[in-house]
C-alpha cells in the first residue's frame, strides 16, 4: 500500500490520507478483490457473516421478528414520541464459527410527520449460546440508541467482524456517518461483554 496524499484539514473538515493498493503478486493483472477494512498482516482473522437479505424468506422473517422482540425489551426507551411504533429491521447479520451465535442488527422507528420527520436508530448486538441443547433465545448484549431528524441523524453500519489480536477477540467494525463526517468504531467482546473499545476521529464534512 502506497500513500499518495496527505491528510487535509480546514476549519470545519478533515480528511484521511489517500492510499493505493498494490497486488500481492506484482505480475498479476487481476484487480484486487473487494474489501471494506484492512488490518496489519496476521493481526486479524475474518468471521463469516450471514446477512438477513441472503436468507430464505421464512428464515429472514423469523430473524426479523426475533430482532424486533429484542429491541422492544431494551432499556432506555425515553423518547415518548416513538413509543408504540413498530420496530423495522433494516439490516441484520449472524456470525458463524463462534462458540456463541452473534447477531448484529440495525433497527429503526419512524415518526412520519411531513413537516418534522423523526427517526430513532438502534445498533444492537445479541448472543445465544450454541453449546447447550436446546439453544436459548438471543439475549441483548450491547446497544446504542439515537434519535433526531431523519435527514440529519447519524447512521451506523457494520462493515466487518474479525477475531482481533493474539487473543482472537471477537470484534465488530462499525462505520458512522453524520453531519460531522464519517468515523469508525471497534466493538470488542472482552470478559463476556461487548464494549466500545476505540472510535476514530471524524473525517470529511
The 3-state secondary structure of 33-90 reads CCCCCCCCCCCEEECCEEEHHHCCHHHHHHHHHHHHHHHHCCCCCCCHHHCCCCCEEE
Tally of CB atoms within 10 A around 44: 20
Beta strands in 99-200 (DSSP E): 100-111, 118-129, 139-149, 155-164, 169-178, 181-190, 193-199
What is the reported pLDDT for 174? 96
What is the reported pLDDT for 179? 82
Rounded to 10 degrees, what is the CA torsion of 70, 139, 130, 64?
A: 10
What DSSP designation does 21 have? -
Report whether 107 contacts 120 (CB < 8 A): no
What is the reported pLDDT for 4? 55
Site of grid cell 444492537: 124
What is the reported pLDDT for 71? 95
Residue 22: which of 2, 6, 44 has the closest Cα? 2
Question: Residue-wise pLDDT tens for the chain (205 aa)?
Answer: 544 555 555 666 767 776 666 666 666 677 766 777 888 888 999 999 999 999 999 999 999 999 999 999 999 888 888 988 999 999 999 997 677 789 999 999 999 877 788 999 999 999 987 767 666 789 999 999 999 998 899 999 999 999 999 999 999 999 999 887 889 999 999 998 999 999 998 887 6
Query: Please, which residues bridge with residue 105 across strands?
Result: 92, 124
Helix (H) or strand (E) holding 4: strand 2-5
What is the reported pLDDT for 159? 94
Amino acid at each position: 500500500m502506497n500513500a499518495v496524499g496527505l491528510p487535509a484539514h480546514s476549519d470545519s473538515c478533515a480528511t484521511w490520507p489517500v492510499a493505493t493498493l498494490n497486488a500481492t503478486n506484482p505480475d498479476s493483472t487481476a484487480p484486487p478483490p473487494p474489501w471494506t477494512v484492512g488490518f496489519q498482516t496476521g493481526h486479524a482473522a475474518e468471521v463469516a457473516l450471514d446477512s438477513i437479505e441472503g436468507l430464505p424468506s421464512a428464515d429472514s422473517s423469523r430473524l426479523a421478528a426475533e430482532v424486533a422482540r429484542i429491541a422492544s425489551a431494551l432499556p432506555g426507551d425515553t423518547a415518548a414520541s416513538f413509543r408504540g411504533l413498530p420496530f423495522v429491521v433494516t439490516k441484520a447479520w449472524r456470525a458463524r464459527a463462534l462458540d456463541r451465535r452473534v447477531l448484529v442488527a440495525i433497527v429503526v422507528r419512524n415518526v412520519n410527520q411531513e413537516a418534522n420527520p423523526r427517526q430513532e436508530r438502534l445498533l444492537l448486538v445479541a448472543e445465544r449460546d450454541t453449546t447447550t441443547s436446546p439453544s436459548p433465545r438471543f439475549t441483548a448484549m450491547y446497544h446504542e440508541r439515537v434519535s433526531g431528524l431523519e435527514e440529519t441523524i447519524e447512521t451506523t453500519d457494520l462493515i466487518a467482524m474479525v477475531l482481533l489480536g493474539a487473543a482472537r477477540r471477537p470484534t465488530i467494525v462499525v462505520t458512522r456517518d453524520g453531519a460531522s463526517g464519517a468515523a469508525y468504531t471497534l466493538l470488542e467482546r472482552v470478559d463476556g461483554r461487548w464494549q466500545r473499545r476505540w472510535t476514530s476521529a471524524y473525517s470529511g464534512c
